[in-house]
């Protein structure tokens, strides 16, 4: 088998954090999809993956000669309830490769069979959810959002049973790492302080090497992870992405999006939007995601608290209690800072989506308050009139050029839009004056171009994703999947010359969205 140039720092440096495990061979492997751009990033040549070699390689029947597969251990809070042992129940880390930019990247299977962490599951995956991982990962990547990505999908030639028999598949996933909040919780729950300390050292060396000399390394890591998550959640919200199952085992230390089960995108704007079939109380609704991220980070902080004790010290007695209390207070400062970090990150995103520079000449506090009010009123308009989130933002570019009709057509009561548009234009003019853009026509063209560069024309519309997955699952037709993937890779480029792609950008009928539910696919 071809060599992938794999290294194995996780298994080597963190004994006890994983279990060696081999993929379970499948009946009739067939390679269905290879992510050529990602292979190029990794510095891998897909040429040798043709034919039976690629079929066997990406279904797990044969492995790269330098693979040493392991199942990683982790715990996690799932819908608020703690499970002390989860782990890779159907995933295997094959190893790590240094890519063309010098970054260490995990290469892992998903759906490759039972592991010691399977907890009664079959360890397999259905084709539809694995293709969903491709579509969502590539869509987020094209939108500039940190995310894990799929390198390949292979059919197994076997059925998996969920609510009905479905064709099976194995996904090959690439990630900055698979370290999760739940990875740290696993060892904290067992009082395994030294493995936890090694895990922190490993995470810092891999993701935050500048923190290597920090006096309180655990606290420094907590701060870095919280700041990454503040940015990530702002990016999700700005494009209407709903992860759907933000358990602590689905929050990465790297700040990448991961595990695209019941995820979806907003259609009509409503912060209470939930599509996940298992989220009965709206815990992971669109508008709750930042608060849940903070909750998850608090659990991360709790997992790190044992490291406040000197090595070898018992966790009893007044000195130890004082050390833990002081550590909790320091961690609490980070957790309490998260909303402000997130708000600042989100404000930057919203301003860009509104075409604003933030250069009106007023003091920052007054500017922030005015812009926040402008944004709140815009979102309130969208919600009150059930306006499509993506289309509304995109058509702001037309309004910037003086063509309000495309935007107004989205509103049941177009007259309600006019007062807000007047305020928005006045705010834009303040930026233009402060920035020296004195030609109104040129300023309008420039603003429209900036708006079209940050407000996508197309997202992974839920209806189109389901159509593509159904065609692949029920008819073995990958054509709709390939066409949708092509469009999602250029989300800011309108294609009026391609009606077949333009239809993929259209909102779903209200009746479809009202009844739409997503599933974990496990």
What long-range pairs does 263-266 form, CB within 8 A, spacing at least 24? 263/132, 263/136, 263/518, 264/462, 264/516, 264/518, 265/239, 265/240, 265/241, 265/390, 265/459, 265/460, 265/461, 265/462, 266/240, 266/241, 266/242, 266/389, 266/390
Backbone angles phi, psi at 180, to 5 degrees: -125, 165
Asked whether the beta carbons of 379 and 269 are under 8 A apart, the reply is: yes
Q: How far is CA 262 from CA 156, 167, 200, 457, in A?
A: 23, 19, 30, 23
Q: Is 249 a catalytic residue?
A: yes
Q: Which two tokens stand for residue 107?
A: 């290469």
- What string of DSSP letters covers 219-273? HHHHHHHHHHHHHHHHHHHHHTEE-S---GGG-BSS--B---SS-EE-SB--TT-
Closest CA to 424 of 384, 381, 457: 381
Alpha-helical regions (H) of 8-126: 9-13, 36-42, 51-59
Q: Which alpha helices (H) appear in 29-103, and where do they start and end?
A: 36-42, 51-59
Structure-block tokens of residue 453: 């560069």
Q: In angstroms, rounded to a whole number, what is the distance separating the alpha carbons of residues 267 and 461?
A: 8
**Distance from C-alpha of 517 to C-alpha of 262, rounded to nearest angstrom:** 8
The one-character DSSP state at 180 is B
Nearest CA among 155, 157, 168 for reference residue 32: 155
Give the pair of three-digit tokens for residue 17: 């954090």
Beta bridge partners of 159: 167
How many whole angstroms separate alpha carbon 49 and alpha carbon 386? Answer: 48
The answer for residues whose C-beta is within 8 angstroms of residue 193's C-beta and 6 or more apart is 187, 306, 307, 309, 311
Asked if 431 and 357 count as a contact pair (C-beta separation under 8 A), the reply is yes
Which phi and psi (to 5°) does residue 114 adopt? Answer: -65, 150
482 Rama class: left (phi>0) / alpha (psi -120 to 50) / beta: alpha
Alpha helices (H) along 98-165: 127-142
Active-site residue identified among 106, 249, 371, 388 = 249
Token pair belonging to 189: 């729950």
Residue 236's beta-bridge partner residues? Answer: none
Beta strands in 80-164 (DSSP E): 81-83, 91-98, 104-110, 125-126, 149-161
Task: Scan for tokens 């019941």, then name that residue.
Answer: 262
Catalytic center residues? 249
């Amino acid at each position: 088998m071809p060599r992938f140039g794999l290294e194995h720092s996780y298994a080597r440096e963190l004994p006890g954090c994983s279990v060696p495990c081999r993929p379970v061979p499948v009946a009739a492997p067939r390679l269905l999809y290879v992510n050529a751009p990602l292979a190029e990033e990794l510095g891998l040549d897909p040429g040798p993956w043709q034919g039976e070699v690629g079929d066997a390689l990406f279904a797990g029947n044969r492995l790269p000669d330098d693979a040493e597969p392991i199942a990683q251990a982790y715990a996690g809070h799932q819908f608020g309830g703690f499970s002390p042992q989860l782990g890779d129940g159907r995933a295997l880390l094959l190893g790590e490769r240094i890519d063309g930019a010098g970054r260490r990247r995990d290469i892992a299977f998903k759906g490759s069979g039972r592991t010691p962490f399977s907890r009664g599951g079959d360890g397999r995956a259905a084709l539809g959810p694995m293709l969903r991982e491709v579509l969502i990962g590539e869509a987020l990547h094209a939108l500039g959002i940190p995310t894990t990505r799929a390198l390949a999908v292979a059919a197994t030639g076997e059925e998996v049973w969920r609510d009905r028999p479905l064709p099976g598949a194995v996904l090959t996933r690439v990630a900055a790492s698979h370290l999760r909040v739940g990875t740290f919780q696993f060892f904290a729950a067992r009082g395994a302080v030294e493995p936890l300390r090694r895990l922190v050292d490993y995470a810092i060396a891999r993701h935050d090497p500048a923190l290597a000399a920090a006096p309180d390394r655990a606290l420094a890591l907590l701060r870095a992870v919280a700041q990454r998550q503040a940015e990530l959640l702002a990016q999700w919200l700005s494009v209407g992405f709903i992860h759907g199952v933000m358990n602590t085992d689905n929050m990465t230390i790297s700040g990448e999006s991961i595990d695209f089960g019941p995820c979806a995108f907003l259609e009509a704007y409503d912060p209470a939007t939930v599509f996940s079939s298992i989220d009965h109380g709206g815990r992971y609704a669109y508008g709750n995601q930042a608060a849940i991220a903070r909750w998850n980070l608090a659990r991360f902080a709790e997992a790190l608290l044992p490291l406040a004790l000197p090595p070898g010290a018992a966790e009893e007695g007044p000195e130890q209690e004082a050390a833990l209390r002081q550590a909790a207070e320091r961690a609490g400062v980070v957790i309490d800072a998260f909303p402000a970090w997130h708000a600042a990150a989100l404000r930057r995103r919203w301003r860009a989506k509104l075409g604003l520079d933030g250069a009106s000449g007023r003091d920052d506090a007054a500017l922030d308050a005015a812009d926040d009010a402008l944004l709140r009123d815009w979102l309130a308009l969208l919600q009150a009139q059930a306006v499509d989130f993506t289309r509304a933002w995109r058509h702001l570019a037309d309004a910037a050029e003086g063509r309000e009709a495309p935007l107004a057509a989205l509103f049941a009561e177009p007259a309600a839009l006019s007062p807000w548009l007047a305020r928005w234009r006045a705010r834009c003019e303040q930026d233009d004056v402060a920035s020296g853009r004195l030609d109104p026509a040129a300023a309008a063209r420039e603003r429209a171009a900036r708006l079209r560069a940050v407000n996508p024309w197309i997202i992974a519309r839920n209806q189109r994703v389901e159509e593509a997955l159904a065609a692949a699952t029920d008819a073995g037709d990958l054509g709709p999947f390939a066409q949708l993937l092509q469009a999602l890779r250029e989300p800011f480029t309108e294609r009026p010359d391609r009606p077949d792609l333009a239809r993929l950008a259209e909102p779903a009928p209200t009746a479809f969205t009202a009844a739409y539910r997503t599933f974990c696919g496990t």
